[in-house]
Structure 1
Amino acid sequence: MGRFKKNRDFHEARWDEPIIMELGNPGERGVLVPKASERVVQVTGTVENLLPANLKRKKAPKLPEMSQMQVLRHYMRLSQETIGTDINIDIGLGTCTMKYSPKINEQFVRSEKLTEVHPYQDESTIQGILEIMYKDEQYLKAISGMDRVSLQPGGGTQAIFANVETIRAFHEANGEGEQRNEIITTILSHPGNPGAAATLGYKVITLYPDENGVPDIEALKVAVSEHTAALMITNPEDTGIFNDKIREFVDIVHSVGGLCVYDQANLNGLFGITRARDAGFDMCHYNLHKSFSSPHGCQGPAAGAQCVCEKLAKFVATPTVEYDGERYYFDYQRPESIGKLRKYFGVPAVLVRTYAYIRTLGPDGIKQIGELAILNNNYMLKKLLKIDGLSMPFAEGKFRVEQARLSWEQLTKDTGVTTDDICRRIVDYGFQDYFASHHPRIIPEPFTPEPVETYSKDDIDEFVEAFASIAKEAYEEPELVKTAPHKAALSEQIHEEYLTEWEKFATTWRAYVKYIKK
């Protein structure tokens, strides 16, 4: 259409579709796997002889036996019950930075030159992907201002974990490992920061916001001491408020010998405008799967990048990707490294998309990303804040960067309709249910939209109009919102206990079977 349409009529497909393990019939086949030729068998022997006895199954795995048509039909039906970036406007998934990934990039990552790569191949046969990884690191060095990059982390939180490991390695190398046992973070930084610190045995000190919505600098001055190992902070936090005193925070922590780590999960409004190193940070990390255009895929695929200054370079995870002027190779000879974070290098498709994204945009385009994200966000907020019952806590009148933590608190007081109700109702308008924001909910009834650079003015107008309509429903017919969704693939509401009580939440088919037999 190319034109804003007000509250388009939408109804999602709803199939009574069994899970694939319950489909098919004995003997049905979608693919007949060819037997090895006699010439191959003469060289290798039979499969039975190749496998050690302890690796041989006692019986065949119970797999669904289905024809190609059944498999295709099953997954096409599931796809009709899914809302994603190619179908709807994903502005509502704030803090997740859902942006469009150009389809040419999908052609790159689906090439057999990438999909058929095996992690145990000889380095001489994977020079292409190693070159891309090496150049990704060089670009990320320029974007962050740091001196060394590791692509070992399997995602943003694992990059945070690598940062904490590096903090510990640095202080232990200086003989202060036991002394520096505290890490300072903030309540509105990503929960992975205190989570990783606590996992590795650190005492976590949490800063709360002042009246302007930024971490209280006076509280930081009280918190730092000879026990401070590091400050781990996001800026802007999920409120979207940029902390213009961030250099003072860094200087305060450095003055007592601590390190400073910049969580750049909310990078999108800072692209090409500010750099972690320029603010004095020693480390930062990126979520390559969101900031550099790979779409989220429900817990993956993900890739993280850890960026460090020169004094921390020797500690990054092994192996690193190096170039000697003629060939690219893995370097395992790093005696002070924190070691391996994971096997291999995660999802190379994300690294290829990162490479294509950066090369396509160049320095000027990267900066334009940040400028457009800020412009889109503040245009959207101007319109959203005209909706009855919606407010923006902290720093009234101050511009936000690439997102904002809003609140439906007034609407809830007036109507009883909560942010979770609205989250479900928005699916009836053809939008993905929005991310209901991090816990703890120190901002009541939170709502955190993020329009990024991808979306047009028409997209933003359509998105805002849907929420204006739901707010109107909440005041006039609250039960309609409370009982949503009505037009979605899900026929009933998913309650939170289904996600927290193990008897009701099965992560695997085997677990599911175990639970239903109880």
Structure 2
Amino acid sequence: MQGSRPQLQDLEMRGNYINRHIGSNETQLKELLETLGLTCLEDIVEQAFPSNIVNQEPLKLTEIISESAVFKHLAKMRQNNKVLTSLIGMGYYNTDMPAVIKRNVLENPGWYTAYTPYQAEVSQGRLEALINFQQMIIDLTGMELANSSLLDEATAAAEAMSMSKRLSETTANTFFVDQDCFPQTIAVIKTRACSLGYEIITGPVEKLNEHQNLFGILVQNPDCSGAIKDLTSIVAEARKQSALVTVATDLLSLVLLKPPAAFGADIVVGNTQRFGVPMGYGGPHAAFFATKEAYKRSVPGRIIGVSKDNQDQTAFRLALQTREQHIRRDKATSNICTAQVLLAVIAGFYAVYHGPEGLRMIAGRVHRYTQILAAGLEQLGFQLQTHSYFDTVVVSTPGCAASYLAKAEYAGINLRFIDEDHLGMSLDETSNREIIRKLWRIFAADNAPMPDINLLDELTGECIPNELLRSDPILQHPVFAKYHSETEMMRYMRRLARRDIALDRAMIPLGSCTMKLNAATAMQTISYSSINGLHPFVPLHQAEGYRQLFDELEDMLCDLTGFDAFSFQPNAGSQGEYTGLLVIRKYHEVMGQGQRDICLIPASAHGTNPASASLAGLKVVVLACDDQGNVSLDDLRDKAALYKDTLAAIMITYPSTHGVFEEAFCEICTLVHENGGQVYMDGANFNALVGISRPGKLGADVAHLNLHKTFSIPHGGGGPGAGPIGVGAHLAPYLPDHPVVKGVNRFATEQGTVGTVSAAPWGSASILAISWAYIAMMGAVGLRKATLAAILNANYIAKRLAPHFPILYTGKNGWVAHECIIDCSEFKKTAGVSVDDIAKRLIDYGFHAPTVAFPVADTLMIEPTESESKIEIDRFCDALISIRLEIAEIENGSADLHNNLLHNAPHTHRLLLAEWQLPYSRQQAFFPDNHQHDDKYWPPVGRVDNVYGDRHLICSCPPLSDYE
């Protein structure tokens, strides 16, 4: 019958991306709703949300764009970018990502959808790849210890400054920065120093002896002009003052150059971008941080260590610094909570694939081409400012730099404008003879004969003094010698990937971390050269596609949040927190209220909150929480009144860190404003507000958004992240700017901004297209549905688990937000079972554990996200219920109190090869439910011994025999 035919609009809606992003189909959603006594998704708004936070204004994002239309739109956007040969340098260089790595890592969800490796047993593949990265950094820098990556080179240098102050044996408060460091690095250091109260001196490092009372120095080698320095006298002068020496360096240059450790450097930082990671208009890239073993407990970020499991097998784990913010809070060494894992993995694999000989060939070719280029320019009559260099030269162009710059751009090449008398150029892995000839033609007079490359190659000698050349071998571990064929490399990467649990295998139910679908359509864009091939400092007219992307994404986020402006410069959530607080401090300063330095933070807050406040120069005052986990209004009233003259801000996560919509959010904002403070909202849980509530209209003044959580950028095994901040109009003038690219903050006034917080003008620009695509494909309708589906899934889990586990916190009508916390504390008393035992036993069921012991000890925080289907959610709930029955067997004495399924979990394949001596069956150990039979996840190691790993700290590659 005609009346039964589906309408065109219905057919279009059924085929859209929304239905592919939300895991449960309409039938499953109906079943979930019925379980909770609801008839439709919209019923959740009245059930779960405080009425005063619900947005009543329609969003502008009304149109839903299909996946094919998004792809076409992004293609047009990309076409507005002009990808020239950029020889600008300054820490960013073109590179070749080996296709085997691009296809098997960058474009493989087994790598890009994995979570931070807090659960070591299901992260051994990533951890091995990261320890390869650390070994690469240790080898090339010559240092004793390296971490597993930081956000970018500039912020790594700022971390080195803070670490130098912590370790300094002097009372000095001044940090010296070589004037030939990259300008973006100097800018970030000045921003960081200002908030910490350090004094910065910049000048020629050769005149270091003219400055006294220093706690540390930073020198770039090779420096911004390309010059290679002999650091011997510099380090000697620093030693006289008990100042620590940080060397910012180029990793590829260290293949040929004497390493910083040989000069006595204390800390070495830099970027691994040119190890196969595209420039991406600024990121994301993995910075490195290396130092002496004596300083290991002061290193920022994450370190991968070697330990053993309960079967005495080698196992990798996060060591020392793991989530130290949650322990030390505002006394933490850093607020960093995000590494750049995916990019560090790529850089490490680049070294594994090429090996020492391959890297020598690449570095040698770059250096040789640069020497030949320089010799040809001199033959054409030009003077060079750089005489000992690796890949960068500065040419004297008296009064004519702009003319040559324009001529080069016309020829398809970007050079670096230094001033009207000087131009810089940096060659890279992709440079070739044709580029050199083009450069000569740009600088040569009309009809001038061109230099002969072959002849110059014969005649040109080495420009680096012998005493500054490397003499020791590099990358001697067998891992850098085994995988040079594509076949072996492909198999190695597959072996590592299968050792992990990522979203391509199972649900990752982590509370506070939102492990949702990362759509393949949105991910495609990052592989195109018109997105990843741009240098971050190209002229703005070459990046019109990016400007369109920034403008449109900013409009989308302003619409969704109710804020008036966004900055994309913060390249992690922790950076967003820090930046937002700096903006608040700047606002108070401009308003003549510079004394305001108190930051109120709830006791339940994520550990980065107090760490960020301390980093921003604020004093942390802790707010109590009531029995329901909400901010105590009585305590807030008391402390707001007590500090009314010095109150700068409150940091509040909404929904709360306990996974609840606090009824008093608006009242909290009013109380803080009445006492002169600003409201910083941690947007880590914005996944539960999108399309429903707009915090910028409720009283929040600034918030960061975790694009890698709410807006579908992948976690990448612990990074990349993106933490842009949204602000009200009164704060917009103070958003970050940049020393190289002007106009980054279009609202800036003569009163100034907070400065620069990350190396690149728009942070990790290349991945922003992922969030743009996600928002465009979902539209207002889809985003609202996703939020409600996430809350529905969380409450369904709470409903199913409540008869078996206490649900710790609930809000209105007994509902949770998008995550729920189950209390496991009683099992210690009744069965000797810890929350860790439950987490490890879940591995035998094929699941990554929820968030363990945060924000409350002995709990599991569960977040299903909207992307998981009812089938997968039921499978997870069934696993936890089954584990509860296993605990009951211990409680009633039918299972041994010590030798049981939970204490021995996870069960590895090695147990199959040994004589079975456990008091339960193999079936119970390995196949606890019917879901395991067809696609069993075999944990590669047993329970990892964390205490042993810390007592016997090893952070470099063990012998290859240990892997076998």
Q: Same fold (TM over 0.5)?
A: yes
**Residue in 1 that maps onto 2:403:** none
CA distance in 1, matches of 2:535, 2:504: 30
**Residue in 2 that maps onto 1:7:** none
> What is the deviation of 1:331?
5.1
What is the DSSP-based 3-state SS (H/G/I as helix, E as strand, rest coil) of the residue aligned with 2:585?
helix
**Residue in 1 that maps onto 2:560:** 143
| Structure 1 residues 502 and 130: CA distance shift in structure 2, 3 A | farther
Letter paired with 1:370? T
Matches within 5 A, 1:64-75: 64-65=480-481, 66-75=484-493
Give 2:607's match in structure 1, choosing from 166, 177, 191: 191
> What is the deviation of 1:100?
0.5
| Structure 1 residues 38 and 116: CA distance shift in structure 2, 3 A | closer
What is the DSSP-based 3-state SS (H/G/I as helix, E as strand, rest coil) of the residue aligned with 1:288?
coil
CA distance in 2, matches of 1:357, 1:166: 28
Letter paired with 2:528? S
CA distance in 2, matches of 1:159, 1:51: 46
**Residue in 2 that maps onto 1:403:** 819
Give 1:176's match in structure 2, choosing from 583, 586, 593: 593
Letter paired with 1:374? I
Residues 307-350 of structure 1 show CA distances to partners (whole Å, capped at 9, x for unaligned) of 1111111111114999xxxxx97458765110111111333343
Letter paired with 1:85? L
**Residue in 2 that maps onto 1:472:** 885
Give 1:264's match in structure 2, choosing from 683, 694, 705: 683
Matches within 5 A, 1:9-408: 39-41=434-436, 53=464, 57-59=469-471, 61-62=474-475, 64-65=480-481, 66-90=484-508, 92-178=509-595, 180-224=596-640, 225-319=644-738, 330=744, 335=750, 336-344=752-760, 345-387=762-804, 389-393=805-809, 398-408=814-824
> What is the deviation of 1:136?
1.0
Instruction: Tell me, yes or no, if the aligned pair for 2:598 and 2:618 is still in contact at 8 Å.
Output: yes
Residues 413-440 of structure 1 show CA distances to partners (whole Å, capped at 9, x for unaligned) of 21111111111111111111332143xx
Letter paired with 2:607? P
Whether 1:415 and 2:831 are equivalent positions in the alignment is: yes
Aligned Cα root-mean-square deviation (Å):
3.6
> What is the deviation of 1:167?
1.6
> What is the deviation of 1:38?
5.1
Letter paired with 2:791? I
Whether 1:484 and 2:900 are equivalent positions in the alignment is: no
| Structure 1 residues 217 and 492: CA distance shift in structure 2, 3 A | same
CA distance in 2, matches of 1:340, 1:153: 9
What is the DSSP-based 3-state SS (H/G/I as helix, E as strand, rest coil) of the residue aligned with 2:625?
coil
Residues 233-290 of structure 1 show CA distances to partners (whole Å, capped at 9, x for unaligned) of 0121122111111111111111111111111111112111111122111111100011
> What is the deviation of 1:37?
5.7
Letter paired with 1:147? D
> What is the deviation of 1:212?
2.8
Deviates more, 1:330-339 or 1:230-239: 330-339
CA distance in 2, matches of 1:26, 1:285: 41
What is the DSSP-based 3-state SS (H/G/I as helix, E as strand, rest coil) of the residue aligned with 2:592?
coil
Please list every run of 5 or more consecutive structure 2 residues that lacks an aligned counterpart in the other structure. 1-23, 29-120, 137-351, 370-430, 441-452, 890-894, 909-937
Letter paired with 2:492? H
Instruction: Tell me, yes or no, if the aligned pair for 1:390 and 1:411 is still in contact at 8 Å.
Output: no
> What is the deviation of 1:74?
1.2
Deviates more, 1:480-489 or 1:374-383: 480-489
| Structure 1 residues 37 and 383: CA distance shift in structure 2, 3 A | closer
**Residue in 2 that maps onto 1:459:** 872
Residues 174-199 of structure 1 show CA distances to partners (whole Å, capped at 9, x for unaligned) of 22212x12110111222221111122
Deviates more, 1:332-341 or 1:137-146: 332-341
Instruction: Tell me, yes or no, if the aligned pair for 2:584 and 2:648 is still in contact at 8 Å.
Output: yes
Instruction: Tell me, yes or no, if the aligned pair for 2:537 and 2:740 is still in contact at 8 Å.
Output: no
CA distance in 2, matches of 1:353, 1:320: 27
What is the DSSP-based 3-state SS (H/G/I as helix, E as strand, rest coil) of the residue aligned with 2:555?
helix
**Residue in 1 that maps onto 2:146:** none
CA distance in 2, matches of 1:61, 1:27: 6
Instruction: Tell me, yes or no, if the aligned pair for 1:390 and 1:409 is still in contact at 8 Å.
Output: no
| Structure 1 residues 206 and 24: CA distance shift in structure 2, 3 A | closer
> What is the deviation of 1:373?
1.1
TM value normalised by structure 2: 0.47
| Structure 1 residues 435 and 52: CA distance shift in structure 2, 3 A | farther
Whether 1:430 and 2:842 are equivalent positions in the alignment is: no
| Structure 1 residues 234 and 54: CA distance shift in structure 2, 3 A | farther
Instruction: Tell me, yes or no, if the aligned pair for 1:134 and 1:321 is still in contact at 8 Å.
Output: no
CA distance in 2, matches of 1:411, 1:101: 36
What is the DSSP-based 3-state SS (H/G/I as helix, E as strand, rest coil) of the residue aligned with 1:290?
coil
| Structure 1 residues 242 and 301: CA distance shift in structure 2, 3 A | same
Which is higher, the Rg of structure 1 or of structure 2? 2
Letter paired with 1:484? A
**Residue in 2 that maps onto 1:325:** none
Instruction: Tell me, yes or no, if the aligned pair for 2:583 and 2:731 is still in contact at 8 Å.
Output: yes
Instruction: Tell me, yes or no, if the aligned pair for 2:123 and 2:501 is still in contact at 8 Å.
Output: no
What is the DSSP-based 3-state SS (H/G/I as helix, E as strand, rest coil) of the residue aligned with 2:663?
coil
Residues 350-384 of structure 1 show CA distances to partners (whole Å, capped at 9, x for unaligned) of 31111001111111211111111111111111001
> What is the deviation of 1:412?
2.6
Residues 71-101 of structure 1 show CA distances to partners (whole Å, capped at 9, x for unaligned) of 21211100110110111111x2111000001
CA distance in 1, matches of 2:554, 2:613: 25
CA distance in 1, matches of 2:645, 2:651: 17
> What is the deviation of 1:393?
4.3
CA distance in 2, matches of 1:111, 1:157: 29
Residues 436-482 of structure 1 show CA distances to partners (whole Å, capped at 9, x for unaligned) of 143xx5x3411100011111111110110011111212222462111
Residues 143-179 of structure 1 show CA distances to partners (whole Å, capped at 9, x for unaligned) of 111111000111111100011111211111122212x
| Structure 1 residues 273 and 394: CA distance shift in structure 2, 3 A | closer
> What is the deviation of 1:31?
13
What is the DSSP-based 3-state SS (H/G/I as helix, E as strand, rest coil) of the residue aligned with 2:730?
helix
Instruction: Tell me, yes or no, if the aligned pair for 2:737 and 2:743 is still in contact at 8 Å.
Output: no
> What is the deviation of 1:503?
5.1
CA distance in 1, matches of 2:737, 2:823: 44
Letter paired with 1:483? N
Letter paired with 2:683? Q
TM value normalised by structure 1: 0.85
| Structure 1 residues 170 and 25: CA distance shift in structure 2, 3 A | closer
> What is the deviation of 1:407?
0.9
Instruction: Tell me, yes or no, if the aligned pair for 1:240 and 1:404 is still in contact at 8 Å.
Output: yes
CA distance in 2, matches of 1:29, 1:341: 35
Letter paired with 1:271? V
Q: How many residue pairs end up in the alignment?
A: 491
Instruction: Tell me, yes or no, if the aligned pair for 2:514 and 2:709 is still in contact at 8 Å.
Output: yes
Letter paired with 1:269? A
